[in-house]
Chain A
Amino acid sequence: MASLIAGGIDCDVHPAVPHLTSLLPYLNDYWRDQVTTRGMVDLVSQSYPRNSPITARPDWRPESGKPGESLEAMQRHVLDPFQLKHAICNPLYGVQMVFSEDLQAAFCRALNDWLVKEWLDRDSRLRGSIVIPTQSIEKAVAEIERCAEDRRFVQVLMLVMGDTPLGKRALWPIYEAAERLGLPIGIHAGSAYHNPPTAVGWGSYHIEDYVGQAQAFQTQLTSLIVEGVFAKYPRLKMVMLESGVSWIAPYLWRLHKFWRGVRMETPWVDRAPLELVRSNIRFSLQPFDAPPEPETLIRLFEHMQSDELVLFSTDYPHWQFDDQDALPKGLSPDLVRKIMIDNPYATYPRLT
């Protein structure tokens, strides 16, 4: 059995904004006044209730404050023990939930500036993702361009459940900017809750929302592929973050079969879906939903027909595994090296 190797890239860690008031120093006078005058509250998403077991591993949960809000804890829990070369910070603060494009743009700008100052400036191993105000495509592009000047931003971050499917043409200026600036689009689990969190309506439970993330990723892959995003932007990489991995192959069998049947509807999709996934789409390792037996795990990787799809992640501080067991059992040393080092470098041009 292969073990972790030093110098890896953790593609999904979550620094937490302690409170909305933590962003006040990064807002202008008008918005600072709005936040206080209107009594705006902390933007905690239903996707990750603060005390939910998923939201923090028991031994990573702080005695007070939000899981993930302390750099020192992140260093102690993952950066040091996993001997990471880099970790990519994906803030999940709930700025996507607000509907006003002006308010969202102000919050995103503050969040990105907060990430630079409170995290990237304080540990040279950290890299960042640019959180964008998707209520306005124009403002989203402007925020990407503003942040991209700092090379420590290596990715643009979007949620898997927003207002529209991600392949929709209206969003393409975001993808144009990302491709031009060497930034993959990271698509992370979570919803803006602007639509019901399943395609069959509102479920009753948090666990239902969490399980449903995988189905949301599946519908987004379909949208991205059939709308022709990768025909238009062939150099654009997209990374599915906290998506689950074990559904990929069966999902692609189905998409491929239907694409063969009705490809006359989307004639610009001139390569098979599996080929497009191999060239343009990647997936973070955790959570890996599968039984623990190595023989099953190995078959799941074989079903994917590629050793380049998966990127190492701990999903810190979310509770996906215990101890140091971030890697599924039974992977070959070659595959571990691909997952931890080669694949992330091949995906994120700004890491070099």
Chain B
Amino acid sequence: MNIQFRESQEAASPLTVRTAIADCDIHPARATRTELYPYLAKRWQHHLEVYGVHAYQGMMEGPPYPKAQPNASRRDAYPPEGGPQGSSLAFMQKQLLDPNNVQLGVLNPLNTGQGIRNHELSAALCSAINDWQIDKWTSKDKRLKASIVVGNEDGLSAAAEIRERAGDKNFVQVLLLSRNVEPLGQRRYWPIYQAAEEAGLPVGVHAFGFGGNPITPSGWPSYYIEEMVGHSQCQQSALASLVLEGVFERFPKLKMVMIEAGFGWAPSLAWRLDKAWQRLRSEVPHVKRPPSEYIREQVWWTTQPMEDPESREDLFDVIKWIGWDRLLFATDYPHWDYDEPSRVLPAGVSEANREAFYLGNAKQLYGMN
């Protein structure tokens, strides 16, 4: 949400949560178009100047569904020194990290090297973004941790990037997007899961991305809201694919995080998978257990944009069905649909569950204890 009429950031303090929190979905941005160039070979700098990025969609710049606000970000999040929202560490500290007492902030860079048809360029851009996350962000603020961005369509080069970064404490997870050329359970992506499992890193799957497929199974819709809502359907299909291709069976120590796609749909999807599996398991003998078991054991969920039913009891039902130990608080800063930490969780939650929701689950998952 926008908080547009604050006179100063200090005015936010009465609403802030003083208890330490983790923010598991922060989007760092580049201040200038060429900010990655120091991390790219001359060849790729030239390529970008001449050809740009050849994506799995038509627009040379920006999204085909215009966002609700510039850069899909809060209007009050423009840094005073200039640049787009989310591009200044100093302003992020002042607006997000300090007032909310963020103890762990997980960076999920978007608009990286993913969803690009030229897979060599994709790998080069992802590696550059990873270097940039260290230089600009994690080395300058120890609260921030980075995600290893990988060229999603080329499993082998993606796995190589993960192995290169494995053991580097700046990174706490591997980052994929939900929308790819194929559903995420497909074999082309297995090297990513294998490398992540070996490195002991969770794989975060953030809503969004381009893979060339229409964002509904009935073709392209008209509106931004359909794309926004559609991300939760994409995420469901991606997760179903991961289960049904046997990814969790094959990589039993793999942990996956569903980021910014909601969690209210999780119980009904798991029940549907279980019911279909009871009938059709002879088609997928590699799926050895009821799908809901893999999901319960190997999947975590970030909270933003938080489910918002009229009755808090409905929300508590859903969280109970998923497990209070599986939710990771996130704000989505600086995006416009930001969740304000103090307003997300209704009253009536035990202290232990509240602590797990805001901080404990994230620290445990990302190995920060």
CB-CB under 8 A for A195 and B221, given A200-B180, A201-B183, A319-B279: no
Interface segment among B19-27, B84-92, B266-274, B356-364: the answer is B266-274
A257 touches B308 (CB 8 A): yes
A253 touches B264 (CB 8 A): yes
User: Is residue A108 within 8 Å, beta carbon to beta carbon, of the partner chain?
Assistant: no
Residues of B within 8 A of A (CB): 1, 68, 178-186, 211, 213-226, 228-230, 232-234, 236-238, 240-241, 244-245, 262, 264-265, 267-269, 271-273, 275-277, 279-280, 282-284, 305, 307-310, 314, 317-318, 321, 336-337
CB-CB under 8 A for A287 and B221, given A246-B267, A247-B269: no
Report B-chain residues with C-beta under 8 Å of the C-beta of A346: none
User: Is residue A349 within 8 Å, beta carbon to beta carbon, of the partner chain?
Assistant: no
Interface segment among A37-45, A61-69, A164-172, A332-340: the answer is A164-172
A195 touches B218 (CB 8 A): yes
A215 touches B237 (CB 8 A): yes
How many angstroms from the CA of A227 to the CA of B216 in the assembled complex? 15
Closest Cβ–Cβ distance, residue A38 to chain B (whole Å)? 28
Other than the given A198-B234, A250-B265, 19 more pairs (CB < 8 A) read: A162-B218, A165-B218, A191-B218, A195-B213, A198-B213, A198-B241, A199-B179, A200-B183, A202-B182, A205-B283, A207-B244, A207-B277, A208-B240, A216-B216, A219-B229, A246-B271, A250-B318, A253-B314, A254-B307
Closest Cβ–Cβ distance, residue B208 to chain A (whole Å)? 11
User: Is residue A1 within 8 Å, beta carbon to beta carbon, of the partner chain?
Assistant: no
A265 touches B217 (CB 8 A): no
Instruction: List 25 A–B pairs whose Cβ atoms lie within 8 Å, in order of A's numbering.
Output: A162-B218, A162-B219, A194-B219, A195-B218, A198-B234, A198-B237, A199-B179, A201-B186, A203-B241, A204-B185, A208-B240, A211-B269, A214-B269, A218-B233, A220-B216, A223-B221, A246-B268, A249-B314, A250-B262, A253-B309, A254-B265, A258-B225, A258-B228, A261-B337, A305-B310
B229 touches A250 (CB 8 A): no
B284 touches A215 (CB 8 A): no
How many angstroms from the CA of A266 to the CA of B221 in the assembled complex? 13
B241 touches A200 (CB 8 A): yes
Closest Cβ–Cβ distance, residue A309 to chain B (whole Å)? 15
A256 touches which of B218, B241, B268, B308 (Cβ 8 Å): B308
A182-201, CB < 8 A from B: 191, 194-201
How many angstroms from the CA of A80 to the CA of B213 in the assembled complex? 46
Report B-chain residues with C-beta under 8 Å of the C-beta of A226: 222-223, 225-226
B307 touches A253 (CB 8 A): yes
B272 touches which of A194, A211, A255, A303 (Cβ 8 Å): A211
Residues of A within 8 A of B (CB): 52-54, 160-168, 191, 194-208, 210-212, 214-216, 218-220, 222-223, 226-227, 244, 246-247, 249-251, 253-259, 261-262, 264-266, 287, 289-291, 296, 299, 302-303, 305, 319
Report B-chain residues with C-beta under 8 Å of the C-beta of A266: 223, 225
Closest Cβ–Cβ distance, residue B27 to chain A (whole Å)? 17
Closest Cβ–Cβ distance, residue B205 to chain A (whole Å)? 11
